[in-house]
Amino acid sequence: MENSLLAKFVAIVGQNNIITDPAQQQPYLADWRGRYQGKAMAVVKPQTTTQVVQLVNLCNVNNITIIPQGGNTSLSGAATPLNQSTLSQVIINLSMMNKILSINKEDNSINVEAGCTLAKVIDYAEANGRYFPLNIAAKDSCQIGGNIATNAGGIHVIKYGMIRDMVLGLEVVLPNGEIFNSLNNLRKNNSYLDLKQLFIGSEGTLGIITRAILKLYPKPVGVITGLISVKTIFQAIDILNRLYAHFSVCAFEIIGKTMQSIYNTHFAANKFPLNDNWLILFELETNNENNTLNILSEVLNDVSVVICDSMVSRQNLWHIRENLPLAEKIHGIAIKHDISLPISQIELFIKQNEKSIKDYYPDAQIIIFGHLGDGNLHYNVQLATNEQTIEQEVYINKLVYTDALSLGGSVSAEHGIGQLKTSWYKLAIDPVGYNLAKQIKQLLDPKNIFNPKKIFSEIIQ
């Protein structure tokens, strides 16, 4: 049975585009954080939408579940197959569908296959005098299809929004093998429901995204990057609003004191140039650098500030920011939370939750960094030993998520639900919304062959 099925997969994609050897499959079977390990009959790499349709039909007839996979950089185990019989699962990896199909400079749009890496799209836009603003540290590996399926965020959300705001049209192979086509580059299109939105953030549960038309933007003429130090989050929010009044703010990242000291310990050769309770890495897009610098010095006259004076110093500051997760990883295991809150509630959340955690775990280290401008905190907790951290995860999650939800927050700002947060998804969203989401999943994928046991904590029939 297995051999005859494999022969059918080979007949669709060719012998060179299928991996069955467990050792070669390994990079596709484990998630980026090394938390989940799955099994698969094969990793299959289609090169065309027609091949994707054929693969989906074959899986449908044979009741084989499909794990759509892009760059496999998910931080919630969303792209990792389950740890069950190899016979029942196939990874459809989009990396061979990696062509930029066209760019339209008049309409400011780009038409790409879903397997293009994010970096390829950014670079292509740049080479053509345009700008694609999605920017995340995984850009060299993650793919546009994965970015859309997770509704990726990153550092520029305060100005450009999540990728949802950058998608004009999509092509998606549905679980029944039909092709949904909304490939247009219209800015306005009020023709009843905007169905492409269903697939943005669907985490591989409703079909396979094969193509996308994305918005492009004018390249910023100039950029000013700087670091400031503040005592409180309220002070940071006040500065953000002062900056908004004068400038086009495109990044406003926060780094807490514990994160600063962990980073400085592990990257001693390139320490933060300032230190305080909170550091803010900000970036402004500007047309007139001299004028901006003059106004900026007035706006920031009451805080310590370092302004980057060259491309090298700018890259250096962003390099520090990108290395924070690595520094944290070197420091030991932490329980990670990607939460968002109304920005006005962040100071209160941090005070309240620090008390909730320290009441039970006086030695806990709370490591905070993230995208303050859009209310997204990477809020990670480390206990005295790695063993204790692993053992107490469920309790720590409860303390963090309960406080975040009570203040109007979300348990997943940008990393998605995957298999990491299934139980919290059900608790966190409105029950009517949960049932609606389940019904949509059942309608589109009645056999539940697309990425099962992700998102929903209960069995979907």
Ligand X SMILES: Cc1cc2nc3c(=O)[nH]c(=O)nc-3n(C[C@H](O)[C@H](O)[C@H](O)COP(=O)(O)OP(=O)(O)OC[C@H]3O[C@@H](n4cnc5c(N)ncnc54)[C@H](O)[C@@H]3O)c2cc1C
Question: Are 294 and 261 in contact, with CB atoms under 8 Å apart?
Answer: no
Residues 277, 258: Cα–Cα separation, whole Å: 9
Beta carbon of residue 432, minimum distance to ligand X (angstroms, whole number): 24
Residue 65 binds ligand X (CB under 6 A): no
Residue 380 binds ligand X (CB under 6 A): no
Length of the chain counted residue by residue: 461
- The one-letter amino acid code at 119 reads A
Residues 393, 33: Cα–Cα separation, whole Å: 16
| Of 110, 78, 109, the residue nearest 91 (C-alpha) | 78
Phi/psi for 67 (5° steps) reads: -110, 105
Beta carbon of residue 72, minimum distance to ligand X (angstroms, whole number): 4
Question: Are 121 and 110 in contact, with CB atoms under 8 Å apart?
Answer: yes
Residue from 28, 42, 59, 70 in contact with ligand X (CB under 6 A): 70
Burial class (CB in 10 A: 0-12, 13-18, 19+), 350: buried
Span 222-251, contacts to ligand X by CB under 6 A: none
Residue from 18, 58, 78, 417 in contact with ligand X (CB under 6 A): 78
| DSSP track, 12-78 | HH-GGGEE--HHHHHHHHB-TTS--B---SEEE--SSHHHHHHHHHHHHHTT-EEEEESS---SSST
Beta carbon of residue 74, minimum distance to ligand X (angstroms, whole number): 3
Beta carbon of residue 125, minimum distance to ligand X (angstroms, whole number): 17
| Of 144, 56, 34, the residue nearest 97 (C-alpha) | 144
| Of 325, 134, 299, 162, the residue nearest 226 (C-alpha) | 299
Stretch that binds ligand X, among 61-69, 308-316, 352-360, 400-408 (CB under 6 A): 61-69
Nearer to ligand X, 32 or 252 (CB): 32
Nearer to ligand X, 153 or 169 (CB): 153
Residue 89 binds ligand X (CB under 6 A): no
Residue 366 binds ligand X (CB under 6 A): no
Q: Pairing relation of β-strands 109-113 and 208-215? A: antiparallel
Q: Which two tokens stand for residue 447?
A: 């056999």
Residue 209 binds ligand X (CB under 6 A): yes
Stretch that binds ligand X, among 200-208, 216-224, 313-321, 422-430 (CB under 6 A): 200-208
Beta bridge partners of 190: none
Stretch that binds ligand X, among 4-12, 36-44, 130-138, 230-238 (CB under 6 A): 130-138
Nearer to ligand X, 25 or 143 (CB): 143
User: If binding means CB under 6 A, how many residues of this protein chain bind ligand X?
Assistant: 35
Residue 138 binds ligand X (CB under 6 A): yes
Residue 325 binds ligand X (CB under 6 A): yes
Beta carbon of residue 106, minimum distance to ligand X (angstroms, whole number): 28
Residue from 69, 229, 345, 353 in contact with ligand X (CB under 6 A): 69
Residues 384, 263: Cα–Cα separation, whole Å: 18
Beta carbon of residue 210, minimum distance to ligand X (angstroms, whole number): 7
* Residue 47 host element (H or E): none
Residue 114 binds ligand X (CB under 6 A): yes
| Of 391, 408, 392, 390, the residue nearest 352 (C-alpha) | 408
Residues 97, 116: Cα–Cα separation, whole Å: 7
Helical pair 393-406 and 346-360, crossing angle rounded to 10 deg? 150
Stretch that binds ligand X, among 8-16, 39-47, 204-212, 342-350 (CB under 6 A): 204-212
Span 414-453, contacts to ligand X by CB under 6 A: 414-415, 451
Residues 416, 398: Cα–Cα separation, whole Å: 18
Beta carbon of residue 374, minimum distance to ligand X (angstroms, whole number): 11
Residue 49 binds ligand X (CB under 6 A): no
Which residues lie near ligand X (CB under 6 A)?
32, 67-75, 78-79, 94, 114, 136-138, 142-143, 145-147, 149-150, 152-154, 203-204, 208-209, 325, 414-415, 451
